[in-house]
Amino acid sequence: MRIPVLAFGLLAATALTSPAQADKLDDIISSGTLRCAVVLDFPPMGSRDDSNNPIGFDVDYCNDLAKALGVTAEIVETPFPERIPALMSGRVDVGVASTSDTLERAKTVGMSIPYFAFEMAVTANEKSGIKSFDEMKGKVVGATAGTFEAIALEAQVKAWGEGEFRPYQTQADVFLALSQGQLDATVSTSTVAQANVKTGKFPGIAVVGKAPFDVDYVALFTNREEYGLINYLNLFVNQQVRTGRYAELYEKWVGGELPDLSVKGVYR
């Protein structure tokens, strides 16, 4: 069907005069504030100091992102199960919350390239006698609900066909239950395991080895349709590595060998 010249001209004029739609990146810059969902019971990624101020790798990462955007960071304490609901409800703009980049989550939110990578470790109550991952078979084990390690550990207990898996709301709850003997062992990131043992708040526990789970790559996340902001987050992660800031923060909060954020055979 042919479009009359006059009608075509009106359509073109309308397109040219329509205001450009602002995206989330513009909104954040205009507001002057970046609201980050951060888990604050997950040291050394996020916790509180003696003055109740948020501290940790993820806290510093949010502050760095806000600085790059030229805005002020607002740390919004967000427990693990509430990370994505906090974004969907509009309480936060971005998640800097050690969130595994699963395909299931990507159906709901937009995820950046990995900004951190975790290896998994087994921490046991010393009275349990557990000295390795395989010795968890038939025992009472648990982890923080909704996390990568909780999903993997629950699946392993089902595969073993014996033992019991218990989900908990927070990492602190898991390690308290472990210290009190309500759990025989847990699987968590090696960073969390070492940090909790070092605090001395959970007597009678020890890191006894690695768990044979995949490396847990975690991503920043925001609303799925915000392509401009997602692109910015990807470049920001890239810049953190290129400038050495990623290595600086890792040494500050974790120490040891710096995890590689690339996936062999996929991207470098």
Residue 183: give its domain's CATH number: 3.40.190.10
| Average pLDDT estimate for 59-67 | 98
pTM as predicted: 0.75
67 and 94 inside one domain:
yes
The structure tokens 């991503």 sit at: 219
Q: What are phi and psi of 264, to 5 degrees?
A: -55, 130
Is the distance from CB of 144 to CB of 169 less than 8 angstroms?
A: yes
42 and 92 inside one domain:
yes
The answer as to whether 58 is a domain residue is yes
Q: And the tokens for 140?
A: 């009472």
Between 204 and 200, residue with greater pLDDT: 204
Report the domain count for the chain: 2
Residue 255: band (very low, low, confident or very high) from pLDDT cuts 50, 70, 90: confident
The answer as to whether 265 is a domain residue is no
Is the distance from CB of 139 to CB of 131 less than 8 angstroms?
A: no
Residue 21: the pLDDT is: 58
Segments forming the whole domain that contains residue 147: 120-210
Residue 107: the pLDDT is: 96
157 and 111 inside one domain:
no
Residue 268: band (very low, low, confident or very high) from pLDDT cuts 50, 70, 90: low
- Average pLDDT across the chain, whole number: 91
The answer as to whether 1 is a domain residue is no
The answer as to whether 114 is a domain residue is yes
The structure tokens 């954040």 sit at: 28
The answer as to whether 258 is a domain residue is no
51 and 160 inside one domain:
no
Q: What is the pLDDT of residues 106-126, one digit of tens each?
A: 999 999 999 999 989 999 999
The answer as to whether 47 is a domain residue is yes
- Residue from 38, 43, 147, 41 nearest 102 by CA: 147
